[in-house]
């Protein structure tokens, strides 16, 4: 087996070619939420399968009820090598609002930024750039004597819409996807100099509620007063969701939420999270939410509930005296610990139904429900990854939580019995999901080197 040094040198030598390959992937407009881009999603899947085959790995594009899933298999050089499943997503968020981009979202370019050179394009960071760090590490092994681990590749195209097809795919392909450990590159660093392993990831429940009142839109003069207004009903329900201490008032909501273990809490305190800067970056000065808890704790290890959108009545220019027949809202719940997504859905729906006046009905639409994920502290793969990251960045890796969600990660544990080692190189100002998304060239390059070291470390 080639030394890790040779593999790292090969990553260095192929730097420009690697950027070129990522640019090819970034040119594909694989927006998963909009059916108009379905063919582009297919193209991204084909492209990735082509890359895997180009490396001499077996790879297939599997169709699903939604966008296709790419599955690949690569054998390690050694027979007794560990087996990892690498997961990434090739789909991206819509680039809108287009007018706020300084260049075309699907015409990747290199720009000079605060962190030096940056790759600017939709998906540069989330998740095409991150996914390719892993492929580039594999390429370097392949060209230098072979892989240290057996690898199953799993690339999906529906992460940004909640991974609706993936759970069934996992269940139907349990044997093929079995591995010792999942590796996920879809999270961030602590800061530009400090690598991180994400050991806690929040789950996500997405619910839409549409409240119906009168049988049609009414004149608010002729009917206002005696007639129930669905917007008022919905607004009251939304107001009731949080109590005066910022806690979520749905009965049973906190079942399965545990206090942070003391050693983790200590580590997090040592990171010295700057709350004022976190708030100032978005134009604010005061934190909300549960009383008596730090911002970091609230984002990383406490559940939350947000209304993501409200519609109803007349919202056009000028005024219209209408008493609307219906009103709707979209809700997101971020889950932690052992909170049960299905139980949260039921509790939320009951909470809403209990607050409906006579004659008012509600219709619910589920947009997904996934649980939180927690990597056992002090596990062997975690320690090996820590040492590997330390060697690459010359700095101890931070063990962090993450407020965002990767819907399928909970299912890796539940359905495949695998923990997920989440290592990513995104930076807080990468503008993922926003205009001018970018990925630092150092993230891309040292990310690939980091994976090379992690794979070598996992193989021992």
Hey, CA dihedral for 400, 401, 404, 405, is it positive or negative?
A: positive
Residues 6+ apart with CB under 8 A from 29: 37, 40, 106
How far apart are CB 291 and ligand BES at their closest, in Å? 25
How far apart are CB 397 and ligand BES at their closest, in Å? 15
How far apart are CB 197 and ligand BES at their closest, in Å? 12
Binding site for ligand BES (CB under 6 A): 126-127, 159-160, 162, 186-188, 204, 402, 404-407, 426
Pull the structure tokens for residue 358: 């006579």
Q: How far apart are CA 205 and CA 300, in angstroms?
A: 16
Rounded to 10°, the helix 15-26/38-54 angle is: 150
Helix, strand, coil share (%) of the chain residues, nearest 5:
35, 25, 40
Of 96 and 359, CB closest to ligand BES:
96
Q: How far apart are CA 63 and CA 40, in angstroms?
A: 14
How far apart are CB 400 and Mn ion at their closest, in Å? 16
CA dihedral 352, 238, 227, 363 (to 10 degrees): -40
Of 118 and 186, CB closest to ligand BES:
186
Of 48 and 356, CB closest to ligand BES:
48
The entry of ligand BES, Mn ion, none that residue 133 binds, CB within 5 to 8 Å by partner kind: none
Helix (H) / strand (E) containing 67: none
In contact, 421 and 120? CB cutoff 8 Å: no
Of 51 and 160, CB closest to ligand BES:
160
How far apart are CB 25 and ligand BES at their closest, in Å? 16
The entry of Mn ion, ligand BES, none that residue 125 binds, CB within 5 to 8 Å by partner kind: none
How far apart are CB 92 and Mn ion at their closest, in Å? 8
How far apart are CB 184 and ligand BES at their closest, in Å? 9
Give the three-state DSSP class for 246. Answer: coil
Q: How far apart are CA 62 and CA 205, in angstroms?
A: 27
Rounded to 10°, the helix 341-354/230-240 angle is: 130
> β-strand 373-374 against 218-219: which pairing, if any?
unpaired
Helices vs strands, H then E, count in the chain: 15, 18
Of 51 and 127, CB closest to Mn ion:
127
Torsional class of 123: left (φ above 0), alpha (ψ -120 to 50), beta (otherwise): left
Of 11 and 423, CB closest to ligand BES:
423
Binding site for Mn ion (CB under 5 A): 126-127, 186
Write out the DSSP string of 78-124. STT--EEEEEEE--B----SGGG-SS-TTS-EEEEETTEEEEESTTT
How far apart are CB 42 and ligand BES at their closest, in Å? 20
Pull the structure tokens for residue 356: 């409906």
In contact, 84 and 180? CB cutoff 8 Å: yes
How far apart are CB 193 and ligand BES at their closest, in Å? 18
How far apart are CB 331 and ligand BES at their closest, in Å? 13
Q: How far apart are CA 225 and CA 206, in angstroms?
A: 33
Torsional class of 149: left (φ above 0), alpha (ψ -120 to 50), beta (otherwise): beta
Of 128 and 326, CB closest to ligand BES:
128
Q: How far apart are CA 42 and CA 61, in angstroms?
A: 9
Of 322 and 431, CB closest to ligand BES:
431
Torsional class of 377: left (φ above 0), alpha (ψ -120 to 50), beta (otherwise): beta
The entry of Mn ion, ligand BES, none that residue 162 binds, CB within 5 to 8 Å by partner kind: ligand BES
Of 136 and 430, CB closest to ligand BES:
430
Residue sitting closest to ligand BES (CB):
404
Of 147 and 207, CB closest to ligand BES:
207
């Amino acid at each position: 087996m080639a030394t890790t040094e040779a593999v790292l040198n090969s990553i260095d030598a192929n730097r420009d070619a690697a950027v070129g390959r990522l640019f090819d992937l970034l040119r594909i407009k694989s927006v998963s939420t909009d059916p108009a881009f379905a063919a582009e999603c297919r193209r991204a899947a084909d492209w990735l399968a082509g890359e895997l085959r180009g490396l001499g790995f077996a790879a297939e594009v599997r169709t699903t009820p939604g966008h296709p899933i790419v599955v690949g298999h690569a054998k390690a050089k050694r027979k007794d090598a560990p087996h990892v499943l690498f997961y990434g997503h090739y789909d991206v968020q819509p680039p809108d609002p287009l007018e706020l981009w300084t260049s075309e979202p699907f015409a990747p370019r290199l720009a000079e930024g605060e962190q030096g050179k940056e790759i600017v394009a939709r998906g540069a960071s989330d998740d095409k750039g991150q996914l390719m760090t892993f492929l580039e590490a594999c390429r370097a092994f392949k060209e230098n004597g072979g892989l240290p681990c057996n690898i199953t590749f799993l690339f999906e195209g529906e992460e940004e819409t909640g991974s609706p097809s993936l759970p069934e795919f996992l269940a139907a392909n349990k044997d093929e996807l079995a591995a010792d450990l999942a590796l996920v590159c879809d999270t961030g660093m602590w800061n530009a100099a400090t690598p991180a392993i994400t050991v806690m990831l929040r789950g996500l429940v997405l619910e839409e509620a549409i409240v119906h009142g009168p049988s049609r839109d009414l004149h608010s003069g002729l009917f206002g007063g005696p007639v129930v207004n669905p917007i008022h009903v919905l607004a009251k329900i939304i107001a009731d969701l949080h109590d005066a201490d910022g806690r979520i008032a749905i009965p049973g909501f906190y079942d399965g939420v545990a206090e942070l273990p003391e050693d983790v809490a200590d580590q997090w305190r040592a990171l010295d999270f700057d709350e004022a800067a976190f708030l100032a970056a978005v134009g604010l000065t005061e934190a909300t939410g549960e009383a008596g808890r730090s911002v970091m704790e609230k984002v990383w290890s406490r559940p939350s509930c947000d209304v993501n959108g409200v519609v109803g009545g007349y919202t056009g220019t000028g005024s219209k005296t209408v008493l609307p027949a219906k009103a709707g809202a979209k809700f997101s719940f971020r889950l932690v610990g052992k909170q049960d997504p299905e139980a949260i859905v039921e509790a939320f729906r009951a909470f809403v139904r209990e607050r409906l006046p006579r004659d008012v009905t509600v219709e619910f639409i589920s947009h997904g429900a996934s649980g939180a994920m927690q990597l056992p502290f002090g596990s062997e793969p975690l320690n090996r990854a820590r040492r590997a990251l330390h060697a690459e960045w010359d700095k101890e890796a931070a063990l962090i939580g993450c407020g965002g969600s990767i819907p399928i990660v909970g299912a890796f544990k539940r359905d495949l019995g695998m923990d997920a080692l989440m290592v990513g190189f995104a930076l807080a100002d990468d503008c993922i999901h926003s205009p001018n998304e970018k990925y630092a060239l150092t993230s891309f390059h040292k990310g690939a080197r980091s994976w090379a070291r992690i794979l070598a470390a996992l193989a021992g």
